[in-house]
Amino acid sequence: MGIAGATSPQECVLLLAVPLTVEEVKADLISLDHHDYARSIEGADFLLPEAVFETHFRPVADAWKICRQRVEPLGVKIIENASSAEVRRVLRDGFRTITIFGHWKGHQVLAGDIIDPVAVANRLQDSTDEMAELIRQATDLSAVQCIAEQSSAEPISTRAALAERLTTAIEAEQALFDLDFQGSDSVGLMHQELSELNRRAIDTWLVGTMISGNRLELRDGLFSPTQVADFGFSAFAGCIHLANCHSTILQRALASPSLRVLGNEEILLPLTFFEVYSTVIALLRPGRPSYPELWLEVLERLRGAEPDHAQLSWKECFIKRLSGFLKR
């Protein structure tokens, strides 16, 4: 039996959950605990909203406009400004492939995540529990002490320095949580998954002083893997395509025998995603491989493609390489 998923564009829905206008970017930048994507692009340099939009979101919006013109006439259902309510609805609407193009607020700590840097620094400096000891192994204690001694009106550079040190501890190859070898969380952990679980442990330890990571951003807020799973994925049969970055634990939270989860463990490049998505949609036919099979095959063939740019576009090149696969 083939992998579950759409075999025609009409069985596909694409939900976009990213800001596509400068007004939406401005609104997201002042909504700290509900939106993270724009803030992650803004960075510690605090770019103006217009600069955030022009440098990152305008190219995404322009590429999306082209992609939409290609896939919507073929029958793909399009939902922009997708919220949790839209995700819940499409899970019940009979689609075979649901693609969510959004942002995963991952394991790295941003300066803006630190709500109370003095409290965080004091906890790191004074606590005698195992978590503090593990974090201190990867933390410059003298810097932490300086942070703790400052007033609550510290500059953003202080938050940035503390965020950098916490991220260093999170990304160190050391579990900051108790390993339960009877549970799935501790079996065969990849580096990315270990980092995500470390962030979850630190968020719990510093609850109330930090904005939590490891959450999927939709247009109505940020949602933990458990919250996303509660949208109704357990009753869905088909393919869920998580078009966002670093979502290892989200993929695991949604996995079930009735569905196939496609996702990324590295950075997702939006412009490349739109090109590959429109190509896969154009190749879908009844009797051909399903969406997840075709998506993975396209990526595999694309890795080995060496197009003659004087004669073939990259898309023509890997479609040519796919011809044998599509005849199966």
The DSSP result for 65-124, as a single string, is HHHHHHHGGGT-EEESS--HHHHHHHTTTT-SEEEEE-EEE-SSPPGGGBS-HHHHHHHH
| Domain match, 161 and 25 both | no
Is residue 33 situated within a structural domain? yes
Which pair of structure tokens corresponds to residue 145?
């002490």
Which pair of structure tokens corresponds to residue 167?
């991220």
Is residue 248 situated within a structural domain? yes
Q: Give the residue among 315, 278, 280 at the shortest CA–CA distance from 295.
A: 280
Q: Considering its fold, how many domains does the chain have in total?
A: 2
Record the pTM: 0.86
> In DSSP terms, which residues pair with 16 in a beta bridge?
101
| Domain match, 205 and 119 both | yes
Cβ atoms within 10 Å, residue 319: 18
Q: Which of 209, 235, 261 is the last residue in one of the domains?
A: 209
Q: Give the residue among 62, 92, 65 at the shortest CA–CA distance from 78.
A: 65
pLDDT of residue 177: 85
| C-alpha dist (Å) from residue 93 to 10, 13, 90, 140, 290 | 12, 10, 5, 53, 19
Is residue 164 situated within a structural domain? yes
| Domain match, 182 and 223 both | no
Domain extent, residue 244, equals: 9-106+217-269
pLDDT of residue 311: 44
Q: Give the residue among 297, 299, 315, 292 at the shortest CA–CA distance from 6.
A: 292
| Domain match, 115 and 194 both | yes
| Domain match, 68 and 52 both | yes
* 230: phi then psi, degrees, rounded to nearest 5: -75, -5
| Domain match, 118 and 172 both | yes
- Among the ranges 66-75, 158-167, 263-272, which has the highest mean pLDDT value? 66-75
| Domain match, 58 and 81 both | yes
Is residue 284 situated within a structural domain? no
Q: Which of 164, 189, 209 is the last residue in one of the domains?
A: 209
Is residue 47 situated within a structural domain? yes
| C-alpha dist (Å) from residue 73 to 49, 70, 185, 277 | 33, 7, 43, 14
pLDDT at 323 over 60: no
Is residue 312 situated within a structural domain? no
| Domain match, 39 and 70 both | yes
**Percent of the chain with pLDDT strictly greater than 70:** 82
Q: What is the mean pLDDT of the chain?
A: 85
SS (H, E, C) 128-148: CCHHHHHHHCCCCHHHHHHHH
User: CA 86 to CA 97: how far, in whole Å?
Assistant: 15
**Confidence tier at 188 by pLDDT (50, 70, 90):** low
Rounded to an integer, the average pLDDT of 78-102 is 97
pLDDT in tens, 195-231: 999 999 999 999 999 999 999 999 999 999 999 999 9
Contact 109, 161 (CB under 8 A): no
Is residue 305 situated within a structural domain? no
| Domain match, 16 and 51 both | yes
| Domain match, 83 and 63 both | yes
Which pair of structure tokens corresponds to residue 105?
């607020």
| Domain match, 258 and 224 both | yes
| Domain match, 31 and 99 both | yes
pLDDT of residue 133: 87
Is residue 249 situated within a structural domain? yes
pLDDT of residue 45: 67
